[in-house]
Amino acid sequence: MSCTCVILAGGTSFRMKEDKALLFDNVNQLNQRLTDLGFTTVIACGNKNRVDLFDGNCIPDPSDADSLSDVIRFFVNSTEGEIQFFPCDMYLLSAESIQSILNQLPGIPVDHNGREQYTLARTHSGWIPSKQTTLRELFATFPRNDMGEHGIELMNFNHPDQLEVLSKLNR
């Protein structure tokens, strides 16, 4: 099933106090993997000053975007067909997990701990997003897709101690 892939790479994390999109060259690597698989891929790069930070087709957030929900609405409203979102901070995704995500039906992946991974949402063609501000509210009507078999690969990195562990693993 064809879709447009959007990598969410907007800027400095409030919790991490770092730009997770620039760590481990993950955005460029993910963009290349998706492009090699034949998917149209767009990088939602944050403000216009970030357009040159990544390889590939970077689109800045609209000037009136105040939240990730606003950015997602912008891409849904300006893209035909299904969209598969990817966060910039799932540093452990394997080729197998990426393929499984790309094969999912529209919905919200649920990881091995039962957490809903809204930034891995797959939207359906014709969806008209509401004006909700939280991702939980925005995707409230979407089905949930069990992806527990991918274990920690669907983990977002949101705390500095998680990055320390990952850095040690990459040495």
Which region among 27-41, 100-114, 124-138, 156-170 has the lowest average model confidence (pLDDT)? 156-170
How many whole angstroms separate alpha carbon 62 and alpha carbon 57? Answer: 15
Counting residues of the chain whose pLDDT is more than 70, the rounded percentage is 82
All structural domains of the chain, each given as residue ranges with its CATH number in brackets, are 4-169 (3.90.550.10)
Which region among 43-52, 128-137, 146-155 has the lowest average model confidence (pLDDT)? 146-155
CB 123 within 8 Å of CB 82: yes
- Burial class from Cβ neighbours inside 10 Å (0-12, 13-18, 19+) for residue 6 reads buried
pLDDT digits (tens, 9 = 90+) for 146-159: 888 887 777 776 55
Q: How confident is the model at residue 163 (pLDDT cuts 50, 70, 90)?
A: low
CA distances from 142 to 68, 121, 137 (A): 17, 9, 10
> Among 48, 145, 67, which Cα is nearest to 104's?
145
